[in-house]
Amino acid sequence: MNRRRLLLAAALGGLVGLAGLSRAEERVIRIVAKKFEFNPSEITLKKGEPVVLELTSEDVTMGFAASDLNVDVEIPPGKVTVVRLVPDKEGTFGFHCDVFCGDGHEDMGGRIVVVAA
């Protein structure tokens, strides 16, 4: 993710940071990407609850984009990509892979459900 987009995303809300270890008070959610699915493909968060998404890829570089929550990162294989997120609105928000990964890329996505705290 380029730095300008990251700063913009952080400024617009939701995304707090991308790097660093999870803190004790943060819930950690691990999401594994592989052609052509995310596992889990649906996660439920609480509004205002800080969470850490730990994203990994089992094969090629993937994308994880949830534009409604201002999240857009790349997930290179062999490392953990960390996204800190504090949902500031309730609702159901889609996410998808935005790094082309093959026949099935267009169907690779999931959703984040944000409920009241």
Partner 1 sequence: MAQAFDRRDFLKLAGLGGAVFASGLAGCAGMAGAERDEFYFVQLSDTHWGFKGPALNPDAAGTLPKAVAAVNALKERPDFIVFTGDLTHTTDDPKERRRRLAEFKDIVSKLDVRTVRFLPGEHDASLDRGEAWKEFFGPSNYSFDHKGVHFVALDNVSDPAARLGEAQLGWLKADLARLDPAAPVVVLAHRPLFDLMPQWDWATRDGKAAIDILMPYRNVTVFYGHIHQEHHHMTAHIAHHSAKSLIFPLPAPGSQPKRVPIPWDAAQPYRGLGFRGIEAEVKKPAYDLVEFPVKA
Between 31 and 52, name the residue whose CB sits nearer to partner 1: 31
If binding means CB under 8 A, how many residues of this protein chain bind partner 1? 19
Got the DSSP string for 41-59? SEEEEETT--EEEEEEESS
Rounded to a whole number of angstroms, the minimum distance from the CB of residue 102 to partner 1 is 6
Judged by CB under 8 A, the residue of 58, 100, 113, 117 near partner 1 is 100
Q: Please, which of residues 33-62 interact with partner 1 by CB under 8 A? A: 61
Q: Is 106 in the site for partner 1 (CB under 8 A)?
A: yes
Rounded to a whole number of angstroms, the minimum distance from the CB of residue 51 to partner 1 is 21
Calpha distance 41→23 (Å, rounded): 24
Q: Which amino acid is at 22?
A: S
Token pair belonging to 71: 């999240």
Query: Which residues, 6 or more positions from 110, have their beta carbon under 8 angstroms from its beta carbon?
Result: 38, 40, 41, 42, 43, 94, 95, 96
Q: Is 102 in the site for partner 1 (CB under 8 A)?
A: yes
Say which residue the tokens 């300008």 belong to. 4
Q: Please, which of residues 67-96 interact with partner 1 by CB under 8 A? A: 67-68, 74, 94, 96
Q: Which amino acid is at 45?
A: L
Residues that bind partner 1 (CB under 8 A): 2, 5, 61, 63, 65, 67-68, 74, 94, 96, 98-103, 105-106, 109
